[in-house]
Structures are given as C-alpha cells and as structure tokens.
Homo-oligomer: A and B are copies of this chain.
Amino acid sequence: MRYPFLKLEETVTKNNIRKMACKARDLNLEFRPHFKTHQSGKIGEWFRDVGVNAITVSSLSMAEYFASQGWLDITVAFPVSILDLRRIDKLTSQIDLHILVNDLEAVEFFNNNLTNNLSTYIEIDPNYGRSGIPFSNLEMIEVLVKEIDSSKTLNLTGFYAHAGHSYKCKGINEIKELSKPLIDQFSMIKAKYGTKLCWGDTPSCSVLNQFGDVDQISPGNFVFYDWMQVLIGSCTPNDIALKMNCSVVSKYQERQEILIHGGAVHFSKEFILNDDNSRNYGQVINSDESSDWSNYLKSVSQEHGIISCSPSFFNKLNIGDVVEVYPIHSCLTANLMQGYSTTKGEFIKHFTSGTPYNA
C-alpha cells in the first residue's frame, strides 16, 4: 500500500446519498445532486440506484464528462461563459443541458448565436456576494426574464440560488436562522414568475425540513461531508465518508509533534480556525478514543503535514503507524487525490477539474 491514500467508506457514502434522497422525496422536492464533490462516474451510479436521473455540476468540462457517463439531464451551476458557445451547442444536441445566467450581455449573446434551444436558470444571489443577481435587484431580474421570454433559443426554466454563506454558520440554529428568511425571499420570486426554484447548499439541505416554494435541491458536499461540516452543524463525525490515510514518518518529542506524509497536494490548504485562532488543516482521528478531537494537522507544506498531539496520542504512536485524518473540505481533497481507495482495496479514479477534459 502506498501512502497517503484517500479511503472512501462506501457504506457511509451510500447512507448519505440515501438519506438526502429520502428527505427530498418526503418533502416532495426534486433531487438534483451536485456532482462536483465526488466527480466520479462510479459514485454517480450509487445515486442512480436511489432513483436520481438529473444532476448538477460546476463546469462545462464536468458536464461533458458526466454526459460521457450516460447522464442525460445536467445543470451547470456556474454562469455560462460566452467563450463556450460551440461546446454548449454540441452538448445540447446530446443531453438536456441547463445553464445559469446572471448578465444581460451574456443572454443577448446566446440569444443571437445559439443554434439549439437551451434551458436557462437565472442565478439569484441570496446575499452571499459571489455570483448571481442580488435578490434586491428586482429591476434587473425583470429585464433578464423579459429578454429570455422574447428569445428564440433560450427558455426560462427557473431560478437558482446558492447560499454559500451558510458555511460560516456554527450549529443548527444558526443555519436555520440564516436560511429561512433567504428561502422566504427566494420564494417571492416564484410567486411573481411561477417558474422553478433550485436551492443548493449542504448545510441548509442537511438541516432544514421546510424549503418554502423551492422545487429542487442540489447539494453536493453531503455525499462525503467533512470536518468543516461537522463544525457547521450539518452532520456528525460518523457521517464523514473520506479519511486520508497517512504514514507516521517522524516524532518530535520536544514539541510533541508528529510528521506525516500528507501535505497541501493531498489535503489542500483549506483550514478552519481553532478556538485559540491556530489553524487546523485536517482533523486527526484517535482510533482508541472516538471523542478525542485534540489532535490536528497544524501545518501543511507540499508533502509534509505536522500533527499537533496530546501527550497520550503522541506516546502511543510509532513511526510506521498509519493515522486517519478527516479532510477539512472534502471537495478540494477529493479533487487533489484524483480518486478513492475503497475499503475493498479498489481504486476509483475520477474526473479532475484541473485538467481540460480530454486534454
């Protein structure tokens, strides 16, 4: 076995998938999961097994990859680039493609240049500040709706919103307090235009049981979860499906720290802040004490990871041992590792965003 490797707990993953699929069914919501987290054709099949046939991805390259894996109904949840005109026309001749727009100029361009019809969502920014037309800009929303309504090629399917600021929440109550008013405001758009509403972030989809007038949910991270989601309140540690397996290379007695092979090219440089403002780049699992979260990755360079240890954890480990570490952000860790090692010893290679598809 070569270290580090990213262990995938198949049972945990399938439970996460089943739970979210059941929730959507119970609440009468269309389940259009985001595949950007796992990026894998094989794991996609596990979604098919619970009845999923429409998905969400984060780039056109990823849409092309999943189209090649037999997915025929895909939303690209990223405002479409006018430079991708030809690729879009090609893909719409093969599958039901849905794109996001948030810009009049782009809408006019596609209106004038597309060959095939294209299902379109207007992206709404629910006060997150990344992409989309702000909730409050009713005038601009109206302009876009009219432009799409009068288009020969673009069809208005609905509105899409991603409340990424839910990642700053701590605990279930904060997620609810943030999300409920946003969903209420989003629902007002439906009252006006009557089209579909799609809502996406993992924290709200994990925690809420009411989604106003939302029709579709498209969470992604929930498939694996990660340590950040535990701290946000979306899940428990037992719901995390990915564990980086790293070899213990050296022990530094004087600073009670351990060197593992596992760095920024494996975990990514995503961190969360501990209570004392130190950084945590990965949460180390103490296999003997399931409630001990005192050991963590305090720093990563390209291949080095340094674990800050409690005395008892430091003392029990030997060089050549293997420690398991929960990623802080599973989307980025999974992307870097290019695939998963299952508990059955299989390697599941996935699409990787860094490479141009088919490059």
Contact = CB atoms under 8 A, between A and B. Distances in A.
Contacts of A16: none
A36 B82 contact: no
A269 B300 CA distance: 12
Nearest to A105: B319
Given A254-B134, A255-B129, A331 B302 contact: yes
A355 B335 contact: no
Nearest to A305: B130
Contacts of A345: none
Given A79-B250, A102-B250, A130 B299 contact: yes
A269 B266 contact: no
Interface stretch (A40-48, A152-160, A227-235, A336-344): A336-344
Contact of A269 (B78, B79, B319, B332): B332
B261 A81 contact: yes
B319 A106 contact: yes
A102 B252 CA distance: 9
Interface string A288-325: 00000000000101111010000000000011100000
Interface size bracket, A side: 35 or more
Interface in A58-78: 58-59, 61, 78
A153 to B, nearest CB: 18
A126 to B, nearest CB: 15
A320 B79 CA distance: 12
A14 interface: no
A352 B80 CA distance: 29
A207 interface: no
B59 A103 contact: no
A332 B82 contact: no
A24 interface: no
A56 interface: no
A81 B249 contact: yes
Contacts of A354: 265-266, 336-338
A264 B347 contact: no
A207 to B, nearest CB: 20
A10 B261 CA distance: 32
A357 to B, nearest CB: 8
A193 interface: no
B302 A58 contact: yes
Contact of A79 (B78, B105, B249, B335): B249
Contacts of A83: 1, 3, 247, 320
A14 to B, nearest CB: 23
Interface in A16-65: 36, 58-59, 61
B59 A106 contact: no
A353 interface: yes
Contacts of A121: none
Contacts of A359: 2, 339, 347, 349
7 contacts: A78-B249, A79-B259, A130-B306, A131-B259, A131-B304, A265-B353, A302-B353
State the 7 A-B residue pairs at the shortest beta-carbon distance, nearest first: A265-B353, A336-B354, A82-B320, A269-B269, A2-B356, A58-B303, A338-B355
Given A3-B83, A265-B354, A303-B353, 5 more contacts: A79-B259, A81-B261, A130-B301, A269-B269, A347-B356
